[in-house]
Structure 1
């Protein structure tokens, strides 16, 4: 027998491993494994596994609607142990799956399985994910390869070619009993919450169609606004991160939509971000040590004193800076925050609070429903200013608030303590005089905290430190190395 191993590819359409397994002709098992070691990794939280469970439920609903005997078998256990047990009883021939650009824990698991499959003469056919290329030495031809992949025909499984019945492990199967999924991880911490996006391929296509047919018309105008972006941005990121949609599907649907709508420019801007999405995952694929280390080793010399109370107040949304606090509370509660606001809260943590990026990266990974390691870590390091090649972006949370939430509607939605704060003080409540605080029945330090840092002083301090270290010989040498590996040189690009 063969196996189609589902991981972060929880869909039935544009699924190359499933298509190949059907065309191979052998009986196969569709398998998903709850891996306790992966689930225990600190980057993940119950909201992620609820999304996966919803996605699996959706896949099985689709499968049973077409054929009552079809379903994905779900087991729980160490991946090598699961495959060993299956091989011992059924003699595995081939395993079909997508390549995974993930955390070190899944990379290490894949190395173990590669060795096991080779020793047992099991063919592991891995397929390219979203245009990401394995073992690429530099980026000179990557954009062309990505475009070629995006324009290729969708890998649509043809179930009419199924010559042998699909296998399913039911409750009487001894392997199912051995690796019985406990589902103990579901509904922890009162999750899932109704304000989380629901998982599944069916919902993914609904979000895609509503965006292309209507919501995208305000995409470019409101992409940076924390309130409006919740509707006008695509909101496809969790569906892409967990594989309910492939990037190629989204790209091709978008190209077709551009032919029939008036807001083509908005869709063009959106399409460019699909390329950007894969660009960062490719960077992580080529240098995944950035999960643990500064990509530019020269920044190892930049000393930052850990202040745990700063980190805790940032996590809780109690920094005294209204927009920062609103963003942190919003993402913890809903799993979503638009890109500019993500960049701002990271900037505030790593620059104004001058804390190391690692603890913040793990915390926000737990909150983001769309956590994608290949985007998360390259972006976090870029915003933290430790690449040595990107412009150091230090977002002023007061200016961002004034520009993107001028009336404080988003702030008041998430920071209830400021619900009655007058609009002219909503961005800087600390400017209220004692008399004005009495007038509005508001007491700074009681109803809402004083700012935990002086923004002007800490911004200047961070700028001096970061711009100063860029002159370091090791930082410069590392910057050249990074440019050579990850950036297409202009002459060659032409």
Structure 2
């Protein structure tokens, strides 16, 4: 079949607003392809919960493509080997896909695919699907470019001709890809249908108190959008979400009803965070080594590269003896999701109180997040660990966070049942309870560190690095390359002689994490 166009689906598991699919259909018959890659699922940031979500998305995509006329073709193996096999029986005219800002493994994989295409004289057309700009020269006017991209009309799905001679293939079992179990009983389910339902329920039912509720895990599970895994796997495009939010804002502006102002505030906050989704992905796109090394090299060697296994294990298992920290970790393990503030707190406790280098905790969290998005995850891990050189150092007090975000202790009691006999007054500081001796060291551990003294020591160590011209010069270069142009807030600890400076993000800006638009 001459001019056969292969559309390689990656993290864009939809047919609507899919530019490669549409453009390929104008060039010739389309073979829609998804490749399950065993080597990818051996990477230390991959997990079973992510794989299960992916399979649900692929299953939905199968139905959508079949309705268009050509079912999805599924293969398992290395992409270049799959392409090689297809090229022996089919006359391929071109390869199409969306651009991807993934982990280091996918980056290297894409370079291998590019080399294979070049060697075979096969054009590979990659098209942006978010506001991330490949080979970006400057951050100037980045936000306005994002707005223009998101305002374009979504692309309609094309009708496809059937390729009867190509067997569709099957979705592999998880045991074939990931032998290790990953128990996540309350994980979100994947697929386009669920993505649309989630978007609708957030915009018209659950999202009213988003602005106030997103900070606390007591309310965030219901009030946050929960769209993050769907954006990570591309069952919805960012443009579809942005335009749905803008339509909702217009509807709210043109109507009057009780609670309208609360809804308007929620939609304003959420709309702003959509920009920050792509803002953080742009950082990893511009500097892939962020996944492995400190953004500001002055922090190299600050923490031991080999983690303290006892402290790391306590943190990973939700057994630090700090109840609110442990409750958040256990909830994340069971659900695959956590709101931003608590993600930031978990990272800060690992980095500051437990003094662990960010790489090992970052990998653990990556595996736990169903919505793991490398382009957001690694810049945020570094930001919350204080190694960017341009962001305010945030050392969360885990006891204060518990008192602020879970004042009644209901969240802690749900996830740390070992504390059921502790008086509610001391649920966040059980070591102060009269009956502490009957619980601590028996059914629940003593704190692995004194959180106040550990925070004080960490603060002194981190701030000691930030002095001197060499530090400030490198920080200035980092800000120029990666910093927001909307901040206007000077980096703390940086001396300036002019009023007008290009400044670094600060605590007054939104922070995003995981798949961030919803959880600042």
The TM-score, its normalising length taken from structure 2, stands at 0.88
Superposed CA deviations along residues 159-205 of structure 1, whole A, max 9, x for unmatched, are 2xx4x43467327xxxx6xx994653479666575411101011000
- Residues 14/339 of structure 1: CA separation in 2 closer, same or farther (3 Å cut): same
Q: Select 1:482's aligned residue among 453, 478, 484.
A: 478
SS at match of 1:393: coil
CA distance in structure 2 between the aligned counterparts of 1:279 and 1:228, rounded to whole angstroms: 26
User: What's the counterpart of residue 55 of structure 1?
Assistant: 57
Q: Could you say if the C-alpha distance between residues 452 and 158 of structure 1 is closer, same or farther in structure 2, counting changes exceeding 3 Å?
A: same
5+ long unaligned stretches in structure 1 = none
Kindly report which structure 2 residues correspond to 1:93-492, keeping only aligned pairs within 5 A, or say none.
93-159=93-159, 162=160, 164-166=161-163, 169-170=166-167, 181=172, 183-185=174-176, 193-261=184-252, 262=260, 263-304=263-304, 306-433=307-434, 436-437=435-436, 442-487=438-483
Q: Which residue of 1 aligns with 2:12?
A: 9
User: Does the CA-based 8 Å contact 2:198-2:225 persist in structure 1?
Assistant: yes
Aligned to 2:41: 39
1:12 to partner: Cα distance: 1.4
Q: Deviations over 1:331-380 (max 9, x none)?
A: 11110110000000100000011110000001110000000000000000
2-structure distance, mates of 1:33, 1:12: 17
Distance of 1:448 and 1:180 partners within structure 2: 42
Query: C-alpha distance in 2, partners of 1:217/1:345?
Result: 27
1:165 and 1:373 map into 2 onto residues whose CA distance is 35
User: How far did residue 316 of structure 1 move?
Assistant: 0.3
Q: Is the 8 A contact 2:422 2:436 kept in 1?
A: no
2:77 alignment partner in structure 1? 77
CA contact (8 A) 1:29 1:166 kept: yes
Do the aligned partners of 1:402 and 1:427 also contact (CA within 8 Å) in 2?
Answer: yes
User: 5+ unaligned residues in a row in structure 2: which ranges?
Assistant: 253-259, 489-499, 503-520
- Contact kept in structure 1, 2:51 and 2:174, CA below 8 Å: no
Closer/same/farther in 2, CA of residues 239 and 180 from structure 1, 3 Å limit: closer
- Going from structure 1 to structure 2, the CA distance change for 1:431 and 1:182 (only over 3 Å counts) comes to closer
Quote the residue 1:18 is aligned against: 21
Q: Structure 2: how far apart are the matches of 1:298 and 1:277?
A: 27
The CA deviation string for residues 429-474 of structure 1, in whole angstroms up to 9 with x for no partner, is 00013xx347xxx421102111110111111100100111111544
Q: Distance in 1 between matches of 2:109 and 2:73?
A: 20
Q: Report how many aligned residue pairs link the two structures.
A: 476
Moved more, 456-465 or 134-143: 134-143
RMSD: 2.0
Q: Secondary structure at 1:94's aligned position in 2? A: strand
Residues 347 and 191 (structure 1 numbering): CA distance in 2 closer, same or farther, change over 3 Å?
closer
- CA separation of 1:194 and 1:460: change in aligned 2, threshold 3 A: closer
State the secondary structure of the residue aligned to 1:214. helix
